A and B are shown apart, each in its own frame.
Chain A
Amino acid sequence: MNKVYGSAKEALDGVLFDGMLIAAGGFGLCGIPELLLQAIKEAGTKDLTFASNNAGVDDFGIGILLQTRQVKKMLSSYVGENAEFMRQYLSGELELEFNPQGTLAERMRAGGCGIPGFYTKTGVGTVIAEGKEVKVFDGEEYILERGIFADLSIVKAWKADDTGNLVFRKTARNFNPPAAMCGKICVAEVEEIVPRGSLDPDCIHLPGIYVHRIVQGTHEKRIEQRTTRKREDV
């Protein structure tokens, strides 16, 4: 078993096809699989549907695939920071399905756990509930949401060992574990591949069973909203 690949391009070899559903980790630009997205751009795969909380910005993240018109549809909770996204959406070139953020995360987690649907009270009485089955449990209404079963998962982690055990860093974990779980194949890009045995088994965030391919690379890790406070004078 060799899960380690030499480049993002090699790590995606043979798994991309037009019209596929890709689940991607990340929140805003934090913890996004930036190298794999770049490799998908270079591969030219078309008509992609992305399950991803956000759509990146114009020149980073999923935004780079919008510029090349490789994306057909987005399943997202918030797409605010992307002018090209809005242009394509308003002109009808791009489909958009809004999912409440927690519903999107749970749809991924559920898919990864073999659960095709679940009931949630999120969105009851709103446009999100339109066309969905409503069921009453203990006097309260819930709507049926479907698990997501993706063709491919692309995620970003901090460290991996060569068996695919992953460790994330701070809030860069976000959607990466549930996104990783819901794909038939999961490719993870990491900042460092460490020797087997050097990760504490009690501190693995995502077990390697979910991760099929790993690539190490250098990440830009762009900050979207740099916000600071002033040092108080001593």
Chain B
Amino acid sequence: MPWDRNQMAARAAEELEDGMYVNLGIGIPTLVANYTGDKDITLQSENGMLGMGPFPYEGEEDPDLINAGKQTITELPRTSYFDSATSFGMIRGGKIAAAILGAMEVAENGDLANWMIPGKLVKGMGGAMDLVAGVGRVIVVMDHTNKHGDSKLLKECTLPLTGKGVVDRIITNLGVLDVVPGGLRIVETADGVTEEELRAATEATIV
């Protein structure tokens, strides 16, 4: 059986090590916070916060306290706040150990596309280009194929790029792959998914 959203998030959480400062994107990456267990992980929200806490209880929402998805959140005893220039200073400066984010396409050379589809409504890249250019390690979590069944792991991206050669590891519902010289290398397959099945669902070169 391919992994479901929560299993993908749990697998992504295994990438995190005790003491890391990490930025989680919207969607499945947000779920990763539920699976960090005993590891001491500090979450960054790029609108200006380290030490992001869970959603507030109803009635305790604070309009001055939101995450990068504009959702109300809470602070923790370790929390610090700072301005956007400082926030992206720590991102661009490589102080954030890892970013876990979703994608529309990843190419075998590590190119990432996740911010615009030409001809469709373009909302903007937000902080995605800064994150993928700056953080220590970029981990993509996404479905292996799109809704038409086509591979999202490509020889070359067809959509406008968010970053060039920036992806380190891809976690999909079928398994885990690393970007290595010459293409992608299978690290593991999801329980019950064979290497042949994963290869068959992948357009990118597997080495």
Contacts and interface: CB of A to CB of B under 8 A. Distances in A.
Interface residues on B, range: 35 or more
B125 interface: yes
B118 to A, nearest CB: 10
Interface string B44-68: 0111110000111110111111110
A81 B71 CA distance: 13
B151 interface: no
A210 B161 CA distance: 37
Contacts of A121: 92, 133-134
Contact of B126 (A78, A125, A177, A205): A78
B125 A223 contact: no
A105 interface: yes
Given A101-B46, A228-B61, A53 B130 contact: no
Interface stretch (A25-33, A42-50, A63-71, A192-200): A25-33
A223 B64 CA distance: 9
Contacts of B70: 27-30, 81, 224-225
A101 B64 contact: no
A204 interface: no
A135 interface: no
B115 to A, nearest CB: 9
Nearest to A142: B133
Given A77-B126, A101-B127, A123-B133, A30 B64 contact: yes
B163 interface: yes
Contacts of A205: 83
A121 B91 CA distance: 11
B194 to A, nearest CB: 35
A171 B48 contact: yes
Interface of A: 27-31, 53, 76-81, 86, 98, 100-106, 108-109, 120-128, 158, 168-178, 205, 221-231
Given A125-B111, A126-B164, A171-B64, 14 more contacts: A30-B47, A76-B124, A78-B125, A102-B84, A102-B87, A121-B133, A122-B130, A123-B133, A126-B129, A158-B64, A171-B47, A177-B85, A224-B70, A228-B58
